[in-house]
Structure 1
């Protein structure tokens, strides 16, 4: 990720913003399918079929890495962290999907980051 953050920083204008979201590293760590035999501190590639959005259920690959690698890679590339959010579900979700609403109310599934150049 340092190379990606560095390239974003290179092409951004002074005062530019970088906003991104990704799976929460701790949430991914709790799912045995995402880490195999690796420790929390190691980066590993994993994949799964996404569900819950209707058909098709595409196979999506991702990398699981510790939170420190993400945030230190960001600031090490010259970005200034402005906002870090672990979002809660909106109240309307409870009526649509009570099981996932309860799950996401206990622990976040994503992180959202905003940084400035």
Structure 2
């Protein structure tokens, strides 16, 4: 069983995307990590998506959905947050296929529904990847792809060491971080796991690992974020996978 790090009691909510949907969406549009690093890297890995049926699993307010649709894909978006989907609906229009669905539950689609599933920065919210990956494999056609980005397994480890703690890299453990967002501080909960635990979960669910990627932020970010660019370019925050459904 995964190990859980003991955390102090705190009444403030974590991962409360319904209440922070507007602010988070605005931040996501132009932030270094999202607009100039994670999203371009995911789209580059997806390549030519013309005519492909894609599930945007954890679509949030829809920026990746919009980019994939603009590139010729037919996209369905799901997210556990109704608040985020309200923002996505305003962006994408009334005809966009958007549904409230939690990735911890069975997916509301028949077998072999999609050519690709894209899971952009969502798997690390889950303690157990097994059932979710099994469902993603089920809704993918044979030969389809799961394109996933997650928190890099060394990122939290380095932060913990800099704070004077000695985390166990090989453990799967929960951590809660505080982020500034506009005029408030939000609390986010993630499950951290080593690289081998990720790859073992992918292969156990029936995927073949095609690509493991540690990309750089796009060059335009150097001028826009001169201080943070160097840090991100030398210490990756995210890890990317392309997985084949054989």
Partner residue, 1:43:
172
Partner residue, 1:19:
147
TM-score, normalised by the number of residues in structure 1? 0.85
The C-alpha deviation readout for 1:28-53, integer Å capped at 9, x for no partner, is 2111189x6641111111111233x6
CA distance, structure 2, for counterparts of residue 112 and residue 104 of structure 1: 15
Find the structure with the greater CA-based Rg: 2
Q: By how many angstroms is 1:57 displaced?
A: 4.0
State the superposition RMSD in angstroms. Answer: 2.1
CA distance, structure 2, for counterparts of residue 114 and residue 37 of structure 1: 31
The 4+ residue runs of structure 1 with deviation greater than 3 A are 53-57
Partner residue, 1:81:
209
What is the correspondence of 1:1-117 to structure 2 with a 5 Å cutoff?
Answer: 1-32=129-160, 38-51=167-180, 54-117=182-245
Aligned residue for 1:115, secondary structure, equals: strand
CA distance, structure 1, for counterparts of residue 137 and residue 237 of structure 2: 27
Runs (5+) with no aligned partner, structure 2 = 1-128
